Structure 1
């Protein structure tokens, strides 16, 4: 699944295997092995791939769409913003894993948006 998702995302971004290898600081044969499924990247390379292709690790590894996760995190973000009890709990350090994940996703999305050229 990873190798298929990787190849699909690379082609959608109109990048060659050599482009990817250069951006990751690895050889083209090493990158090609990821797409063929004969080799798996380490965490550093995997994160680099995710950043270059602008997709989540969940999508690369499991094929889960960013839209599915985005909706869950948007709901959590709205809960934090609109629910005084949740906001106060977060402010006071009583943070659940869900609130932490939502906050991290919000920050990540904002950083990604900041990297995109303004129209």
Structure 2
């Protein structure tokens, strides 16, 4: 599970919870809640953690239910589609939000972004 993977990776690198919280830009209280499984961080935070540990997001989320992974990829796709700097063109066709969102989630999962 995410919380167990997070704790193991942190301990393997001999970081304290406070050090990890500072590295990823959250409070120590929030970080502790990640390790306890009280809350799941958003995609940006998960990505930041995976970058700090030099492991993939999938490895960090190993053991999590598919629905949790889907939720994370869905949130990322929504954030990208709501960003005015994001442009998606598929063979010069306009896509409604729902269709673009489904396609982007599929792309993110396939490429494990």
Question: What TM-score results when the alignment is normalised by the length of structure 2?
Answer: 0.55
Residue correspondences, number: 68
Higher-Rg structure is 1
User: Relative contact order: is structure 1 or structure 2 higher (C-alpha 8 Å, sep ≥ 6)?
Assistant: 2
**1:16 maps to which residue?**
16
Alignment partner of 1:39 is 2:16? no
Question: What TM-score results when the alignment is normalised by the length of structure 1?
Answer: 0.52
Structure-1 separation of matches of 2:52 and 2:18: 13
Structure-2 separation of matches of 1:54 and 1:20: 14
Structure-2 separation of matches of 1:53 and 1:15: 11
Structure-2 separation of matches of 1:28 and 1:61: 21
**2:60 maps to which residue?**
60
Higher helix share: 1
Displacement of 1:56: 1.1
Computed over aligned residues only, the root mean square deviation of the Cα atoms, in angstroms, reads: 2.2
Structure-2 separation of matches of 1:48 and 1:59: 13
Structure-2 separation of matches of 1:10 and 1:29: 16
**1:51 maps to which residue?**
51
Q: Which runs of 4+ in 1 moved over 4 A?
A: none
Structure 1 unaligned residues grouped into runs of 5+: 64-96, 105-119
Structure-1 separation of matches of 2:16 and 2:56: 20
Structure 2 unaligned residues grouped into runs of 5+: 64-106
